[in-house]
Structure 1
Amino acid sequence: MMDSRQRGTALLVAGCFFMEMLDGTIVSTAAPQIAADLHTTPASVGLIITAYLVTLAVLIPLSGWLTARFGPRRVFLAAITVFTVASLACALAPDLPTLVGMRVLQGVGGAMMVPVGRLVVLARTAKPDLPRAVACIVWPGLAAPVAAPLLGGLITTYASWHWIFLLNVPLGALALLVARRLIEPGVQSAPPPLDTTGVLLTCTGLAALTWTAHLVSETHSSLAGTALPAAIAAVALAAAGRHLLRTPHPLINLRTLDVQSFRAAALDGSLYMAVVGAVPFLLPLLFQEVFGWGAVKSGAVVLFVFVGNIGIKPATTYLINRFGFRPLLIVSTLGLAATTAACALFTAATPVAVIAVVAALGGVARSAGLTGYSTIAFSELRPDRLRDANALFATGQQLAAGLGVAIAAAALRGGAALTDAPRSAYAVAFVVLGALCLVPTVGALRLRPGAGDAVRRVVAGQRGVTQAIVSDSRKSE
């Protein structure tokens, strides 16, 4: 069983995950107020969102090497400090260029907080306790994009946009104090030389891909303007993949994908995460632009997704132990596909209670599925491969969170091109996202029945007797 230090560390990382994800989404709600206060346009304010997401995408791959070079405790504490100080600087920014610069600095801290914190949890948690630890880490990150519309609406309605960033200051200070007590100094190793070619190719490709996603999500971007960064991303990432597979000490070790359970989590889990991130983006737009709801009512209804997340959380570890990862992921991916497609049926006349139930069921699928993917990812890896796998997994998840909005925006544009009715355009987008979620279902069906059993405590029979499965994870390598 997890001791108090392990539980505290998992909850600490969960809090950091919540801050990081919230800051990636909540700012969009305050864009009009920020634009008016800083004497610029709401479209220009989009830069503060993109600058943050690009910085995360570029620097997360470096988390593994920095952890090996300086030790997890030092990097984690520095990341929380940078994130907190940058949040205060964002609140005090007098103009847009300063705010964008401080958002980049905030992204520097955010890029290190969660990957390094999760690595600390993974390295110090016994495999049978991994589902419970990962469940603690995952759900706050799920809650952040869902809570952002309501929280942002309340802040901008009853306070000012500065409080979006000021809220991080006491939270970050508390996290720093707790981290100093909980995170013990690790053994500092001598890492191989930094893969500078991998850094240049990978970071260029990820930055270009994230910028492309931003342009796709913007309503006024041109095809020519989007094609150039998309081409740069494709060329750079293709070259990066070729380099990373050939160099002896790559920045991101793609060879960890030879483990089937990790490969499923890194690839299918990232696509699943993209759909998860797209739904909280589309629903408030549907409610406000088509149904005519206010920001607070819209955010309150979307919050039922969070109700589903919380409702299923105590049962996710039991479900993994009782049924295994393969059935859980099959049901979760199908559930998210069904509830996402069901949103296409919403109209202004649909009872709010019905919308709330569908949103809550979608939240159940989100929580169970992402907990499953985040746990099975590290279930069959040797300890010496955790750092490499964690960096790759974190990079995929961060990209997916950003790409989800771009996929939703592209689907919405496609729907608008097919029909003149705004509600029908949203219906097309939700159906496309639901169909996209079936791809991870196919991946889950291809998992072997015993995948991830190394971290399960199987519930035997009707009497609820439990026993730990003893498995040599090296057999899966």
Structure 2
Amino acid sequence: MSSSDQKGLIAPIIVAFAMFMETVDANVIVTALPQMARTFGRDPVTLKIAVTSYVLGLGVFIPVCGWLADRFGARTVFRTAIGIFVAGSIACAASTSLGVFTVARFVQGIGGAMMVPVGRIIIFRSVERSDFIRAMNYLSLTSLLGPAAGPLLGGFITTYLHWRLIFLINIPVGIAGVYLTNKYIANTREPHPGPLDWVGFVLSAGGASAFMLGLALVGSELVTDSTAWTMTLAGAVALVLYVFYARYAKRPLLDLRFFRVPTFQASVMGGSLFRIGLGAVPFLLPLVLQEGLGMSAFESGLITCASAVGGLFMRTLASRTLHRWGFRTVLMYNAAFSGIAIAACGAFFPGTPVWLIWVIVLLGGFFPALQFTSLNSMTYAEIESRDVGRATSLGSVVQQMSLGLGVTIAGIVVQLTRAWHGHAHIEWSDFWPAFVTVGLCSFASIGITRRLAPNAGDEIARGKRVEVPAKR
């Protein structure tokens, strides 16, 4: 590789490391939840609010990141994102209560939300087209390795050191990221980005935040349940108002008209039902292994990473599977396989062989990875190139909200089951209803994907030219 090629790929490598930090941090916390709960004097399930707040910070700020990069420059926004993420990490490490920790995780989520889309913009603007695929491969590695490294790293640090160090390791990485960003990344921007839809942002972000946090706060003892339900209702009202607002706004922040596109609707709406389970499993699995089966955080991490290993293996088969069967068939049948694999994790009991647990968790990553890849591949099958940015904003927000909703629903079901059993502390038998519930959500997505045309997305899945009937 020539020196000019190496220089051209420095920016993608910087972006990839920053995203790897964010991806690892998103996955590292779950194995440490029981220890964090003991530090804060809380029940482990109540820490669902900390997981939800991070995902929420990611979701509600993604739509404005492109505008911020165009208005203030990609380098400025990217290094600010790293700074916000590191500041949130320091606040997480220094937290003395669940309330402070929840706010710190939300701040981290804001930083992460700004890093991912702005990082892609930086790559798009700084890399020669001949090197674009190689640059994007660096980013794909972060999504592949982060879910595997996170549980292992979190489990090791929690077991043999202290969970607060999980967040402190972000400080040197972040400082290096800011320095390298200043040195090697140009501050590109658009000259006339246009106005931001502030009304849409307040209604959508405020509504989603109140709705999701309100649900997550139910039974948390941070606020009264009546306050939590009031927040949930207020958030729902704001979201309904946004739906009416978006119908008449000239250029809404989140354009809901994309849901009229069949493949986009199936990918995002049907995929959201599936992602409820996808978001719940990383939260439930370490809890049942540690609180239910008595494993250490590191032992739990060694098993939890099997899900990522299954996902890595399936990604090598995804394109061939889609080419053979097509989107509609794969999404329908694989949703059932995924639901069964997720629900099977609720069958663990004291004395279950570790090898059997590992195999079930492996399958719990194998089938959902195929579903996730298929859904993402089909999203833009019928979207015009000029609309990809706006469609991405809408899809990303809905996806993040569904992941957070999965954690919230799973936590509520575990709390209700424990109350029904009359257990003072959660036990292994309190988890299976939650796994079955989120597994059924995967089955529910079949009702949406089965409405797809048999050849939907074939131009992408099988390389066929699909004739679209002319509108009359």
- TM-score w.r.t. structure 2 length? 0.81
The 1:358–1:104 alpha-carbon spacing in structure 2 relative to 1, beyond 3 Å, is closer
> For the residues of structure 1 that align with 2:291 and 2:438, how far apart are their CA atoms?
19
Distance 1:332 1:144, change over 3 A: farther
Alpha carbons 1:119, 1:387 under 8 Å: kept: no
Distance 1:315 1:146 in 2: 19
After superposition, the Cα gap between the structure-2 partners of 1:20 and 1:58, relative to the gap in structure 1 and judged at 3 Å, is same
CA contact (8 A) 1:61 1:391 kept: yes
| Match in the other structure for 1:447 | 452
Contact 1:142 1:367 in 2 (8 A): no
State the number of aligned residues.
Answer: 461
CA contact (8 A) 2:276 2:441 kept: no
| Closer, same or farther: CA 417–96 of 1 in aligned 2, 3 Å | closer
Where do residues 390-405 of structure 1 align in structure 2 (5 Å cutoff)?
A: 390-405=392-407
d(CA) in 2 for partners of 1:122 and 1:261? 26
TM-score, structure 1 normalization: 0.80
Question: Structure 1 CA distance, aligned partners of 2:346 and 2:107?
Answer: 39
Quote the offset at 1:147 in angstroms: 5.1
Q: Which residue in 2 is equivalent to 1:328?
A: 330
Task: Quote the Cα distance in structure 1 between the aligned partners of 2:222 and 2:94.
Answer: 30
Distance 1:98 1:139 in 2: 32
Whether contact under 8 Å (2:147, 2:308) holds in the other structure is no
- The superposition leaves residues 230-289 of structure 1 with CA deviations (integer Å, 9 ceiling, x where unpaired) of 111110100011111211021111122222111222212222222112112212222222
Alignment check: 8 A CA contact 1:64 1:391 kept: no
| Alignment partner of 1:341 is 2:346 | no
Aligned to 1:258: 260
Q: Matches of 2:435 and 2:346 in 1, distance apart?
A: 6
Secondary structure of 1:446's counterpart equals coil
Alignment correspondent of 1:362: 364
Task: In structure 2, give the amino acid aligned to 1:351.
Answer: P
Relative distance call for 1:301 and 1:266 in structure 2 (3 A) is same
For structure 1, list consecutive stretches of 5 or more residues without a partner in the other structure.
459-467
| Inter-partner Cα distance in structure 1 for 2:330 and 2:16 | 22
- Equivalent-residue separation in structure 1 for 2:454 and 2:409 (angstroms): 32
Matches of 2:99 and 2:411 in 1, distance apart?
26
Q: Is 2:293 the partner of 1:291? A: yes
Q: Deviations over 1:20-43 (max 9, x none)?
A: 344345345546766888xx6457
1:102 Cα offset (Å) = 5.3
Counterpart Cα distance in 1 of 2:289 and 2:243: 41
User: In structure 2, how many angstroms separate the alpha carbons of the residues matched to 1:26 and 1:472?
Assistant: 46
Contact 2:197/2:251, CA 8 A, preserved across alignment? yes
Partner of 2:319: 317
- What are the residue-to-residue correspondences of 1:325-474 with 2, within 5 Å? 325-419=327-421, 422-456=427-461, 458=462, 468-469=463-464
- Give deviations 1:427-459, integer Å, cap 9, x for gaps: 222221211111122222222223223434x3x
Letter in 2 for 1:262: F
- Name the structure 1 match of 2:212: 210
Deviates more, 1:441-450 or 1:69-78: 69-78
- What corresponds to 2:236 in structure 1? 234
After superposition, the C-alpha distances for 1:138-174 in whole angstroms (9 at most, x for unaligned) are 6754765665444223112222334212332454456
Q: In 1, distance between residues paired with 2:444 and 2:15? A: 30
The farther-off stretch of 190-199 and 143-152 is 143-152
CA contact (8 A) 1:77 1:179 kept: yes
* Alpha-carbon distance change, 31 to 430 in structure 1, aligned in 2, over 3 angstroms: closer
Aligned to 2:284: 282
CA distance in 1, matches of 2:117, 2:233: 28
- Give the deviation of 1:315 after TM superposition: 2.3
Contact 2:332 2:449 in 1 (8 A): yes
SS at 1:437's partner residue?
Answer: helix
Secondary structure at the aligned position of 2:316 is classed as helix
Note if contact 1:22-1:145 (Cα within 8 Å) is conserved in structure 2.
yes
AA aligned opposite 2:246: L
> Aligned partners of 1:340 and 1:401: how far apart in 2?
15
Structure 2, gaps ≥5 residues long: none
Corresponding position of 1:114: 116
CA pair 47-245 structure 1, distance change in 2 beyond 3 A: same
Give the AA of the match of 2:446.
T
The Cα of 1:182 is off from its aligned counterpart by 8.9
1:117-154, Cα deviation, whole Å (9 max, x unpaired): 456778999xxx99999897567547656654442231
Equivalent-residue separation in structure 2 for 1:336 and 1:136 (angstroms)? 28
Deviates more, 1:234-243 or 1:338-347: 338-347
Q: Distance in 1 between matches of 2:460 and 2:297?
A: 42
1:308 aligns with 2:313: no
Deviation by residue 1:209-248 (Cα, 9 ceiling, x = unmatched): 2212321473786542321111111101000111112110
Deviation of 1:192 (Å): 3.5
Counterpart of 1:282, as a letter, is L
The answer as to whether partners of 1:381 and 1:473 remain within 8 angstroms in 2 is: no
In 2: Cα distance, 1:33 partner to 1:340 partner: 25
Identity %, equivalent residues: 33
Judge which range, 106-115 or 83-92, deviates more.
83-92
Q: 1:35, 1:352 → 2: CA distance?
A: 25
Distance 1:332 1:275 in 2: 14
Q: Would the aligned equivalents of 2:34 and 2:291 in 1 still touch at CA under 8 Å? A: no
Cα distance per residue 1:376-395 (max 9 Å; x no partner) = 11232112111111111111
